[in-house]
Structure 1
Amino acid sequence: MNRSVIAIFIVFTMMLTSCEQEKNKLPKIAIAGFWIESSTFSPARSDMNSFKQLRGEEIFNYYPFFGIDSSLRNQADWIPTLRARAIPGGMVTKETYESLVGEILEKLKKNAPFDALFLDIHGASSVVGMDDPEGDFLRRVREVVGTEPLISTSMDLHGNVTKELAQHTDLITCFRMAPHEDATESRRRAVSNLLDRLESGKGKPKYKAWIPVPILLPGEKTSTRIEPGKSLYAKVDPLTKHEGVIDAAIWVGYAWADAPRNRAAVMAYGDDKEQVSKAAEELAKSFWDVREQFEFVAPVASLEESLNKAIESKKQPFIISDMGDNPTAGGAGDVTWTLQEVLKQKEFQKEDGTSLIYASIPGPKFVAKAIKLGEGAKIEAFAGANVDARYAGPVKLKGTIEKIRHGDKYAETEVVVKVGSVHVIVTKIRKPYHHEADFTNLGLNPRKTDIVMVKIGYLVPELYNMRGDWLMAQTPGGVDQDLERIGYKRIQRPMFPLDPDMEDPDLSARMIPLADQLK
């Protein structure tokens, strides 16, 4: 074999190898997240200490579908940046927002270029001095990675979708259940859709339809456990099966922030303009048509009425939601008004009175004193109202320390003090109580307690399944359910239900340009 033939053979082999390597090259996809819903009606502020920050392998561990043997994990070269998540609370300080977003942007710059990004955001953050933090975040991400990479965004259905946010993302979806039992499934859908578009070579969907819907309702009225939310959200999946539609979503929006973006929204996207438009318009119209049917997911009463019914009830536990200061919706979590009213009731003032667990009230100074005194000791100290003292000052708790527990990932330290027949849980840092183990770890038995009072709105599945009966109490706080008295000044009007006689809005599809078509 002469040298020319050998040379041709070598070149041909190299070309085949290069083609094969190119064929087997995995897409490079970044992962980032910024997750909080925050009330502008609460005096609380969320800072860096409020956010749990995951980096590197920690991010993969958060998502079950990214397990080591997962097909999704093996379909791309994933580049984790930062996932920052906080318990709902007050507005995020601008410094905190810039620090978290800045780190994400810096890591994107360092590891660019990318074929795609998976962004996990809530959609209801409120940042001091900003009207649309998530829209700003997406715009700045685009400034770093460019308009070519696909961006798939997963959101909470209580988030807000502005035109800017819709423009800068290519594939967008949100939860379809409230409570959010499909959170993992929804995030997986966002990732799967992204990989499908990359592997098929189809890339960005050709059409995106966005419809703002002038409805602003609290999550406690829009749960998918009951009608009309149940049937409304059941319409979403069938529409995604239509030829030319990739996905569709309904956002209820976030009721406890006062900004022009706060309202419901619908989106659909895919490769068939007519089908995408029809899907979005059908969902928007369906939402508007049932707007007057939304009611609270459970009976609602004043605190006095709630306590009276619970005391008379023979069902254990009778759960009362202290809704106005719900930290899972953005309340400060330390409003003492409800607890002070409870302790005034004669039924709870003797040790053998009606048993009640109150979960919970933050009181770092109370906790510090309890640690010094120890379990079994008597204590008299104040807790609560360090952040939100608009309705009542710190509550004096005089009783016996029954339990001190260290190491909780949210509360850090928990103290159970018995005041009369009430077990009050005092925490170093605010913590929502969602699980039976949250109580049993403290030596409490909620199933054998007459009344369990939690700072929450609609019950998460575990509490819901444990309830003997349930009432949601209309109490004051940063996430007050009485929207009429909450004091909106900046949302777009007219808005249902604040303007019940408003004319039917324009619910036609607005076609949003693709990111690479923006000037």
Structure 2
Amino acid sequence: MRIFTAALATETNTFSPICVDRRAFEESLYAPPGQHPETPTLCTAPITVGRKVCRDKGWTLIEGTAAWADPAGLINRKAYEGLRDEILDQLQAAMPVDAVVLGLHGAMVADGYIDPEGDFLTRIRTIIGPDILLCAELDPHSHLTEKRVAAADFFVVFKEFPHTDFVDRAEDLWRIAVDTLEGRVKPAMSVFDCRMIDVFPTSREPMRSFVDKLIEIEATDPDVLSLSVIHGFMAGDVPELGTKTIAVTNARPEKGAALARALGMELFAKRGTFMMPWMDEKQAVSLALGATSGPVVIADMWDNPGGGTAGDATVVLEELLARGATDVAIGMIWDPIAVQICMAAGEGAEIPLRFGAKSAPGTGNPVDGLVKVVRVQPSAEMHFGDSIAPFGDAAHIHLAGIDIVLSSVRVQSYDPSLFTALGIDPTQKRILVIKSTNHFYAAFSKIAAEILYCSAGSPYPNNPATNPYRRVRRDIWPIMADPHGTEAA
């Protein structure tokens, strides 16, 4: 067997002012054929898992380019077309192939392309023809369009949020692909549109039990090859935004359609109950200061670079400074210019510095102060499960009793190693402020005495009922109270 694999992925917040060009991919991950590292970068797990599978089977794996950019705004048209065509040319050169196995995200939007993944998959289908297997792993914070479903044989989606299972799901993707190529199964994909926009953290109920139910059905029903939920990505203003369920069965499309619908309506019945409760910055700081043990983690949940924001908001920091809080560490604030200044000053220097809140309204005010440059770290990295997340040149500064990590590459706060990389022991701090909606939970919950979810400022469109959408359909909850008519029934 000859299998082609590649990855092209990012998540587009169409409201974000930060545009994505080719350099953004190169700063996060750009790996030409054969140069992908042994560890995956979230959406590139099909490549690293595929190496092992094909090695064990004695098959030929032809690797194309792997490209991942940290989430931001609109993708530059030339950047998307260039990366797309680079991979398509590699596929064309590899023909004939028996299958194409991809790593995608599913929430890209590019200048001139409202559905880049649909465009990409359709072009691949044109090259390989109707009978060659085409499958992909997706992030659940994506948009499942009709064009994508028409082009692919099946999708497998991360089940967990935080996404701790991207390698496990890549293994599922390859298991189904191998069984298909060896004639044991004929995957049939069924999709149900839940007609809702919501957020589904699996670290709490009711989504925890729902995901466990999916896993149980997969394990006990021989007809079911895979079950997935597309959560949707509320910061993507696209026509087919919304939650959808996927059932991949062994040649049982009618059963799959009924199962996808039943699971989708179960989610719809619980709409509005999945999200963790949150508070504003004043309440979060008050509770953290009053805690009897630490560290208390304040998640600045909407200034999350993983959702496409800048990660440079200072709202929580300003509240901490106003309250005279000490023994606090903040990780991170994105400010490449401030990092450059700190690196030029050198470790131990005391300098006047203005940093933060440069990207957009609703992110607070730039902070001015006499800071001590405690440490500078070129090419800093942190862990994210089996992956490594680079955050570029970074600086650890100290201001009025608060330790702050400044980064030059936008990335959310996945893991406490972001602090240790800059010489800060997070377990010894009274308060930790991080920028992440929920991906932080798996790692930070292990050291936190308490976790507070904080909605501070307005860096992110976090209310789908009032977000200024231009393209999103109107017959979807919560824009429409009951688009399925279940209450009338």
Q: Same fold (TM over 0.5)?
A: yes
- Encode CA deviations 1:21-74: one digit per residue, 9 max, x unaligned: xxxxxx111001112112111111111121111233333724578579934433
The match for 1:315 is 293
Distance 2:50 2:157 in 1: 25
What residue in structure 1 maps to residue 451 of structure 2? 470
Cross-structure match for 1:10: none
Contact 1:210 1:267 in 2 (8 A): yes
* CA distance 1:244–1:443, change in 2 (3 Å): closer
What's the counterpart of residue 13 of structure 2? Answer: 39
Distance 1:131 1:460, change over 3 A: same
Q: Is the CA contact 1:61–1:67 (under 8 Å) kept in the aligned structure 2?
A: no
Distance 1:67 1:190, change over 3 A: closer
Tell me how far 1:422 sits from its aligned partner.
1.0
State the AA in 2 paired with 1:293.
T
| 8 Å CA contact 2:19, 2:75 repeated in 1 | yes
Q: Closer, same or farther in 2 for the Cα pair 1:142/1:69, shift >3 Å? A: closer
Stretches of structure 1 lacking an aligned partner (at least 5 in a row)? 1-26, 349-353, 507-519
Partner of 1:23: none
Pairing 1:163–2:143 present: no
TM-superposed CA distance for 1:434, in Å, is 2.2
In 2: Cα distance, 1:397 partner to 1:486 partner: 35
Instruction: Find the residue that maps to 1:70 and give its secondary structure.
Output: helix
1:53 corresponds to 2:34? no
1:105 aligns with 2:105: no
Structure 2 gaps of 5+ residues are: 382-389
Is this contact kept in 2: 1:321–1:453, CA < 8 A? Answer: yes
Q: How does 1:381-400 map to 2 (within 5 A)?
A: 381-389=353-361, 391-400=363-372
Which residue does 1:435 correspond to in 2? 415
Deviations for 1:201-251, whole angstroms, at most 9, x for unmatched residues? 75x53x432211111113xxx111222111222232344343433222211
Aligned residues of 2:333 and 2:407 also touching (Cα < 8 A):
yes
Q: Structure 2 vs 1, CA of residues 127 and 231 (structure 1 numbering), >3 Å: closer, same or farther?
A: same
Residue-by-residue CA offset, 1:489-518 (whole Å, 9 max, x unaligned): 321122222333444379xxxxxxxxxxxx
**Is the 1:319–1:454 Cα contact (8 Å) retained in structure 2?**
yes
- Cα deviation, 1:413-440, whole Å, max 9, x if unaligned, reads 2111111011111122223332222212
- Alignment partners' CA distance in 2, 1:505 and 1:173: 29
Aligned length: 467
Seen in structure 2, the aligned counterparts of structure 1 residues 153 and 109 have a Cα distance that, compared at 3 Å, is same
* Post-superposition offset of 1:256: 0.9
Which one of the candidate residues 415, 423, 435 is aligned to 1:455? 435
Q: Does 1:257 align with 2:236?
A: yes
Q: Which deviates more, 226-235 or 463-472?
A: 226-235
Partner of 2:352: 380
The counterpart of 2:475, out of the listed 490, 494, 502, is 494
Partner of residue 308, structure 2? 330
CA distance in 1, matches of 2:168, 2:275: 27
Superposition deviation, residue 401 in structure 1: 1.3
Counterpart residue number, 1:14: none
- Aligned residue among 245, 248, 256 for 2:227: 248
Q: Retained in 2: the 8 A contact 1:157–1:252?
A: yes
Q: Is the 8 A contact 2:6 2:63 kept in 1?
A: yes
Map 1:120-519; keep pairs closer than 5 Å.
Answer: 120-200=103-183, 204-205=186-187, 207-218=188-199, 222-240=200-218, 241-269=220-248, 270-296=250-276, 299-343=277-321, 345-348=322-325, 354-389=326-361, 391-409=363-381, 410-458=390-438, 459-504=440-485
The two structures have a TM-score, normalised by structure 2, of 0.89
Paired residue type of 1:28: R
Q: Pairwise CA RMSD of aligned residues? A: 2.3
Q: Deviation string for 1:302-345 (max 9, x for gaps)?
A: 111111111111221111111221011221222333333433x1
Deviations 1:457-505 (A, max 9, x none): 1233111211111111112344343334432232112222233344437
| Distance in 2 of aligned mates of 1:60 and 1:321 | 31
8 Å contact kept, 1:380–1:397: yes
**Percent identity, aligned pairs only?**
24
Give the conservation status (yes or no) of the 8 Å contact 2:20–2:75.
yes
Q: Which amino acid aligns with 2:108?
A: S
- Whole-angstrom distance in 2 between the partners of 1:438 and 1:71: 32
Q: 2:307 is paired with a residue of what secondary structure?
A: coil
How many angstroms apart in 1 are the aligned matches of 2:469 and 2:32? 38
Letter of the structure 1 residue corresponding to residue 403 of structure 2: H
Call closer, same or farther: CA 1:411–1:227 in 2, change over 3 Å. closer
SS at match of 2:302: helix
Tell me the CA shift for residue 388 of structure 1: 2.6
Conservation of the 8 A alpha-carbon contact between 2:196 and 2:477: yes
Deviates more, 1:475-484 or 1:401-410: 475-484
Question: Contact between 1:362 and 1:430, CA under 8 Å: does it hold in 2?
Answer: yes
C-alpha distance in 2 between matches for 1:39 and 1:320: 23
Letter in 2 for 1:426: L
CA distance in 2 between partners of 1:262 and 1:79 (Å) = 33
Counterparts of 2:408 and 2:154, CA distance in 1:
41
CA distance change for structure 1 residues 45 and 421 in 2, over 3 Å: closer, same or farther? same
Q: Take 2:459 and 2:12, find their aligned partners in 1: how far apart are those partners? A: 10
| Residue 86 (structure 1) aligns with | 69
1:454 deviates by: 0.7
Matched residue type, 1:479: Y
Query: In structure 2, do the counterparts of structure 1 residues 480 and 200 end up closer, same or farther at CA, with 3 Å as the change threshold?
Result: same
8 Å CA contact 1:245–1:271 kept in 2: the answer is no
- Aligned counterparts of 2:184 and 2:194: Cα–Cα separation in 1: 34
Q: Which amino acid aligns with 2:350?
A: K
Deviation string 1:326-385 (CA, Å, 9 cap, x unpaired) is 011221222333333433x1323xxxxx32111111222222222222222211122233
Give the TM-score, by structure 1 length.
0.84
Distance (Å, rounded) in 1 between the aligned partners of 2:94 and 2:484: 50
The answer to whether the 8 A contact 1:243-1:272 is kept is no
Give the distance between the partners of 2:183 and 2:7, measured in 1 at CA.
26
